[in-house]
Amino acid sequence: MVYFDGSNCLRINHSSFSVWLDTEDITAGSDWHAAIGTGLDRCKALIAVISNKYISSRYCMSELYTANGDQKLIFPVIVEDVDFSTTEQARGVKYVVSGINWTMFRLGYDDYHSSLTKLISGMKEHGTLCVYRTYSI
């Protein structure tokens, strides 16, 4: 699930995917740690929407490391230039995603529709249930 705006959310939802999205699928008053853990446990893949805020979030890191440790498919989506050498945490993200083909969604640099098509095509090749987490970009 790539959630830049509602129309993109719908495009991926209508592409034969069952999507779990933390910002929409965790109800008010829920234990969000448990809900995210369940979402990660049930998914086949994680779409990591990587931004500078993502690499500084301990929660995003926990999700990425959990998905990696559980041998889930990981689809890195880069939405802005990130310096992976700035912190130990940033280097940890680089370690997890360095051997995986990234989909570039940088505003003003990458063709959005081409990137979305590539992401959906890759997801169709590999799985049916995805979960992701990111902070505002």
Question: What is the residue-wise DSSP string for 40-76?
Answer: HHH-SEEEEEE-HHHHT-HHHHHHHHHHHHTT-EEEE
128: left (phi over 0), alpha (psi -120 to 50) or beta: alpha
Residue 36 DSSP class: H
Strand partners, 113: none
- Residue 137: what pLDDT? 43
- Whether 132 and 21 have beta carbons less than 8 Å apart is answered as yes
The answer to which of 20-29, 89-98, 101-110, 113-122 has the lowest mean pLDDT is 20-29
Is the pTM higher than 0.85? The answer reads: no
**For a pLDDT cut of 90, what percent of the chain falls above it?**
17
Q: Is the pLDDT of residue 20 over 80?
A: no
**Distance separating alpha carbons of residues 39 and 103, to the nearest angstrom:** 23
Name the least confident of 1-5, 12-16, 39-43, 65-69. 1-5
pLDDT in tens, 68-94: 999 988 889 888 999 999 999 899 999
- In the chain, the domains with their CATH numbers are 6-133 (3.40.50.10140)
